Chains A and B, each alone.
Chain A
Amino acid sequence: MAVNPDNYGLRLFVRYLVLCLIALIFIFPLVFMINSSFKPDSQLLADTSSLRAFLPVGDISLNNYFGAFRRAPVGLFVLNSVLVTGATVLLSLLICSLAAFSFAFLRWKGRDVLLSVVIATLIIPFETIAIPLLLLVSKLPWIGLDGLHWGWLNSYRVQIIPWIADGLTIFLFVQYFKALPGELIEASRVEGASWWQVYYRVVMPLSGPVLATAAILKFLIMYNQYLWPLIVVQQESYRPVMVGLGYFFQLNVAWGEVMAYLTLITVPVLTFYLLLQRAFIASIASTGVKG
């Protein structure tokens, strides 16, 4: 089909205009958050009635950031969240991909039944199992450097281990593995590879897209954890960022400091996203899964 160049340019312009407008709608809350974090509360509240809310005008300073750091150990909370999230993501990729590998490639009794049970766990909301899980983890043993403990409360492990394996991640891997050409697996078996070698020499190197998808989904879930750490962590030293937000909603809410805190805790998410941006877009396009 022949393309009329003028018409094509116009259509392209309109298309980009629409896309830019949509992008603006999504970016406005972020712009508001960042600009407000530089404003004193009185001005911040006054500006909300006009477009000035989205502009860095008036009394601009870093005071809110100093205030936020005075009010809460921001660095510690970010560190806790990054640590818990990072560890969970890495362990989850390993454990879930191994589970999915056995569901997709190995033949064993009860495999299909167990897979449907795993997938069925997707429909159970976390809130329903939060209390039983709390009772369970409060009594579990742990062997640390200083000997045997009972109860996992107030630790990193209580925030990490229950979140490593989940039905969605396993399901994502299973679907991806089943779509890999079966002959590749068979060829490597005939060439003498053990199942373990098939896993790390053939299947994993070909699983870039699904690894990125699973990592991003898990990252978002873990970084935004609120309810679970709220009930299992009482000590400030293990508290993650979202629970830390509570420090700013005391008797009188300091909106400027809230905005400064939110801006600070967004930095790791943006960094992670920018690092994996290409894989993120490619994986969403290929799997049809939205984060």
Chain B
Amino acid sequence: MAEVSLKGVKKSFGRVEIIKGVDIHINDGEFVVFVGPSGCGKSTLLRMIAGLEDITEGILEIGGRVVNQLQPKQRGVAMVFQNYAIFPHMTVRENIAFGLTIAGASRQEKQQKVAEAARILQMEHLLDRRPSQLSGGQRQRVAIGRAITRKPAVFLFDEPLSNLDAALRMDMRMEIGRLRRQLGTTMIYVTHDQVEAMTLADRIVVLKDGQVMQIGAPMELYHEPANRFVAGFLGAPSMNFLNVDVLDLDGEVAMVGNQSLEPIRVATRRRAFRKGGKAILGVRPQYLRPVQSGKGLLHGIVAHAERLGSETVVDLTLRDNCELIAAFNEDKVFQPGDAMELTFDTPLAHLFPDELQTH
């Protein structure tokens, strides 16, 4: 087990800078998820920790030791890949024992550790099969088995569930959660799936364009996003953003409104706004409630409704022609064209600066 620490880590391919100075400290035994849209550099960052990519600048420490120049095998990490990367010419048993074979472990040790891994992953009956005889989920279990037999200090997962179908993904997600509790090892997990990030992580690192947008516990990021990107990235359906006018400023509270939004008071959370300027109001679809005419804060017309059974997602067009998504926690019927008024608890709304305008 070990801490992992990245200090001012940068990565360039030729002249293109992919990772633009990242500082992250991961505690011993912590489960940290790197999340972000494709091309944000999350996989590159993980591969740099694994030793598969050089570090252009900065310091990487694993277990208090600078490992920038060390080969992957000297870093004490194990990695699970998106495409499983299990060896097609070996049986499951040989695949799981691969790291031990390389390390020159005795036959007895291999047998014992393979049996242990197989028991943890419930795949004793598959040991003599070839990878071609396994399903996707089973293959990924083999890859995880190969990773755990060596008892690494840090586990690295590179989008391990992306190639699995939805049902299997949920099973495997729970299995990884269980594994994590069982092993207690430091784990770094890369995904673009925010559900995986929210459910598995102790802390989430949100990345965008090679920079850290925010680091924090899942609920911290959900309830207190540091910026508009994090707010929009976490949560499904994603947060609504409305262009609003700042009507008044009073210390930590701003009065905002626009053509379709009645004036409301929102906490500025120490962000800078200018009276008479523009701002972005973020409201999660789940926080919106329909109310009877005359009592709503938002006024719109139903454009489209999706009934999911436990939830109804409504797509509205507001008075100023903005789109708005509302998610109601019940099964309700809405007709396109219906006028609708919505309200929400203003403390749950977030106000962000309008990046396009100078303050």
Interface positions of A (Cβ within 8 A of B): 181, 183-184, 186-193, 197, 201-202, 205-206
Contact B98 A190 (CB under 8 A): no
Interface positions of B (Cβ within 8 A of A): 50-52, 71-73, 77-79, 81-89, 98-99, 101-103, 143, 146, 150, 156
- Name the contact of A190 in the complex, choosing from B51, B82, B84, B88 (C-beta under 8 A): B51
Q: List 12 A-B contacts (CB under 8 A).
A: A183-B85, A186-B50, A187-B81, A187-B143, A189-B71, A190-B156, A191-B73, A191-B78, A197-B102, A201-B101, A205-B89, A206-B87
CA of A190 to CA of B53 in the docked complex: distance in angstroms?
A: 12
Contact B81 A183 (CB under 8 A): yes
Contact B79 A190 (CB under 8 A): yes
Q: Which residue of B lies closest to A193 (CB)?
A: B102
CA of A183 to CA of B77 in the docked complex: distance in angstroms?
A: 16
- Name the contact of A192 in the complex, choosing from B73, B82, B86, B143 (C-beta under 8 A): B73
Q: Which residue of A lies closest to B89 (CB)?
A: A205
Residues in B neighbouring A190, C-beta threshold 8 A: 50-52, 72-73, 77-79, 156
Q: How far is the CB of B45 from chain A (nearest CB, A)?
A: 15
Contact B73 A206 (CB under 8 A): no
Residues in B neighbouring A193, C-beta threshold 8 A: 73, 98, 102
Contact B102 A191 (CB under 8 A): yes
Contact B88 A191 (CB under 8 A): no
User: Would you call the interface of chain A mostly helix, strand, loop, or mixed?
Assistant: helix
Contact B87 A184 (CB under 8 A): yes
**A192/B103 contact (C-beta < 8 A), A186-B52, A187-B79 known:** yes
**A189/B52 contact (C-beta < 8 A), A183-B83, A183-B85, A206-B89 known:** yes
Contact B50 A192 (CB under 8 A): no
Contact B87 A189 (CB under 8 A): no
* Total cross-chain contacts (CB, 8 A): 64
Contact B85 A202 (CB under 8 A): no
CA of A82 to CA of B242 in the docked complex: distance in angstroms?
A: 81
**A188/B98 contact (C-beta < 8 A), A181-B85, A183-B81, A206-B88 known:** yes
Q: How far is the CB of A126 from chain B (nearest CB, A)?
A: 37
Residues in A neighbouring B88, C-beta threshold 8 A: 206
Residues in B neighbouring A186, C-beta threshold 8 A: 50, 52, 79, 81, 85
Q: Which residue of A lies closest to B54 (CB)?
A: A107
Residues in B neighbouring A189, C-beta threshold 8 A: 51-52, 71-73
CA of A50 to CA of B146 in the docked complex: distance in angstroms?
A: 70
CA of A257 to CA of B150 in the docked complex: distance in angstroms?
A: 67
- Name the contact of B99 in the complex, choosing from A183, A191, A205 (C-beta under 8 A): A191
CA of A136 to CA of B327 in the docked complex: distance in angstroms?
A: 83
Residues in A neighbouring B73, C-beta threshold 8 A: 189-193
Residues in A neighbouring B79, C-beta threshold 8 A: 186-187, 190
CA of A184 to CA of B84 in the docked complex: distance in angstroms?
A: 9
Residues in A neighbouring B86, C-beta threshold 8 A: 187
Q: Which residue of B lies closest to A192 (CB)?
A: B73
Max count, chain B CB within 10 A of own CB: residue among A181, A183, A191: A191
CA of A188 to CA of B50 in the docked complex: distance in angstroms?
A: 12
Q: How far is the CB of B82 from chain A (nearest CB, A)?
A: 8
Q: How far is the CB of B286 from chain A (nearest CB, A)?
A: 38
Contact B98 A191 (CB under 8 A): yes
Q: How far is the CB of A190 from chain B (nearest CB, A)?
A: 5
Going nearest first, the 9 A-B pairs with the smallest beta carbon separation are A192-B73, A183-B85, A187-B85, A191-B99, A205-B89, A190-B72, A190-B79, A183-B81, A192-B102
Q: Which residue of A lies closest to B81 (CB)?
A: A183
Q: How far is the CB of B103 from chain A (nearest CB, A)?
A: 6
CA of A140 to CA of B251 in the docked complex: distance in angstroms?
A: 91
Q: How far is the CB of A232 from chain B (nearest CB, A)?
A: 41
